[in-house]
Amino acid sequence: MTAALRQDAAPVAAPATAPLVSVEGLTVKFKGGDGSIAAVNGVDFTLERGKVLTILGESGSGKSVTLKAMMRLHPARKTTYGGRIMIGGRNILALSERELVQVRGSVVSMIFQEPMLAFDPVYTIGHQIAETVVRHEGVSRRDADKRALDLLEMVQIPSAARRLKAYPHEMSGGMRQRAMIALALSCRPDLLLADEPTTALDATVQMQVLVLLRQLQREMGMAVIFVTHDMGVAAEIADDVAVMYAGRFIEAGPVGPVIGKRLHPYTEGLLASTVHGASRGERLETIPGSPPNLAKLPSGCSFAPRCKYVEPCCRETDIPLFHPEPDHSARCLRIDR
C-alpha cells in the first residue's frame, strides 16, 4: 500500500513489510498569546520506501507544520503533539532529545525553501557537509572530505572540487539548493522531507532540481515527503498526493486520480483556479473567501463556508474519510451518495 490514508491497517502487514513511515492521528497545537492554534487536526498516512508523497495546500493549511513535526522541529515549550509518528520503527514523538539528534540527518533529513538560511554563512559548503558526515558516521575528516566531493558531484554541481571551498553567499540560488540537497543526503537518510524546495527558484532551474531530486530518490531508494502549493510541481514529482486544508488531509491518492478524478470540491476549485489552460478573457473560476482561521475552526467540514455544494448536514458532524477506490479517499459527504 502506498501513501493513501488507510486507517484500517492491512491485515497482512507483518513487521518485515511494514511501511517506512506511518502517521496516525497526528495533531499539532501551538500555544499562543490568545488561546491555542490547532495547526494540524488529525493526519493519517503511511509511506513506503522509495515513494514520493506530495502534500499540496495553500498557506496556513498546515502542510509545513506536518512536515516539521516529522522531525519534531517545532519549539518544544510552545507545541503540543498528539497521535503517533513512526519512522523506520522509531516512535518520533516519544524519543528523547538525545535520540532525536541521532535520528535527524541520518534517518530523516530535510531541505528548505531558502537554502541561504539553512547554511551557516561563515563556513564553506565543503566544511559543513564534511562536519555532518563526521558527526553522524564517525569517519575520519579526510574520508568525510572525500564524501563531500562525491556528494557535490552527485548533485551535478559543476567544478565540484572548487565549490567545496565556496561560501554559501558565493553561489547562485540553484547551486545553493543543490548543495543543500547534497548536505541533506550526506548520511543516506531513509526519508527526505522537502519543504517547497523549488518555490524560490527560477522556472528553468526549478525543473533541473525536480529532475535531479527524482533521479536521486530513485537511485537511493529513498522515501520523500514533498510539500508544495503548486499543482504542476506535484504532477512532476509525486507518486501520491495528499491535499491539505485546515490541518487535515481532505483528499489523498495516487497522483493521476487526484488530478484527473478529483473527489473533493476544494481540490476541484484549486484545479479550476489555476490558470493552466484557461484562455485569455475567459473568467477564472475561483474559490470564494479565504482559508479559515485556525484559532477558531468552523464545526463540521472546515471547507463548508467556501463550498458551492454546501448543505446543512456538512456543518453538523466531522466528515469521515470515504474510500470510493481502495487507494483514493476524500472527506466529503457527497461521495457517500
Partner 1 sequence: MAYAATTTPAKNTDPRDRGGEAQPLLMVKGLLKYFPVLGGVLNRKVASVQAVDDVSFEVAKGETLGVVGESGCGKSTTARLLMRLIEPDAGSVIFDGEGVGEQHGLSVRDMRRSMQMVFQDSYASLNPRLTIEETIAFGPRVHGVSGKEARDRARALLGKVGLDPNLFVRRYPHELSGGQRQRINIARALALEPRLVIFDEAVSALDKSVEAQVLNLLNDLKRDMSLTYIFISHDLNVVRYISDRVLVMYLGKVVETGTVEAIYGNPRHPYTRALLSSMPSMDPAQRTTAPALTGDPPNPINPPSGCRFRTRCAFAEGVCAMVEPRLEIVADAERHAAACHMEIAGSGHSKAIPQLAPQIGPQITGAVA
Binding-site member from 16, 284, 296, 337 for partner 1 (CB under 8 A): 284
* Cα–Cα distance, 277 to 106 (Å, whole number): 42
Binding to partner 1 (CB under 8 A) within 124-143 occurs at none
Using the contact rule CB under 8 A, the part of the chain among 31-39, 139-147, 234-242, 328-336 near partner 1 is: 234-242
Residue 268 and residue 248 in contact, taking contact as beta carbons nearer than 8 Å: no
CA dihedral 121, 127, 128, 133 (to 10 degrees): 180
| 170 is a contact residue toward partner 1 (CB under 8 A) | no
* Cα–Cα distance, 49 to 204 (Å, whole number): 29
Residue among 73 and 212 whose Cβ is closer to partner 1: 212
Binding to partner 1 (CB under 8 A) within 174-233 occurs at 174-175, 202-208, 210-211, 229-233
Using the contact rule CB under 8 A, the part of the chain among 63-71, 110-118, 219-227, 288-296 near partner 1 is: 288-296
* Cα–Cα distance, 269 to 286 (Å, whole number): 7
Residue among 93 and 271 whose Cβ is closer to partner 1: 271
Binding-site member from 256, 320, 324, 326 for partner 1 (CB under 8 A): 256
Residue among 94 and 278 whose Cβ is closer to partner 1: 278
Cell numbers at residue 176, please?
545553493
Q: Please, what is the Cα angle at 202 between 201 and 208, to 5 degrees?
A: 80
* Cα–Cα distance, 69 to 61 (Å, whole number): 14
* Number of residues binding to partner 1, judged by CB under 8 A: 46
Residue among 44 and 239 whose Cβ is closer to partner 1: 239
Binding to partner 1 (CB under 8 A) within 140-169 occurs at 158
If residue 272 lies in a helix (H) or strand (E), which one and from where to where? helix 265-273
Query: Helix 203-220 vs helix 173-184: angle between axes, to the nearest 10 degrees?
Result: 20
Half-sphere exposure of 142 (CA within 13 A, CB side): 0
Residues that bind partner 1 (CB under 8 A): 58-59, 158, 172-175, 202-208, 210-211, 229-233, 235-236, 238, 255-256, 259, 269-270, 273-281, 283-288, 290-291
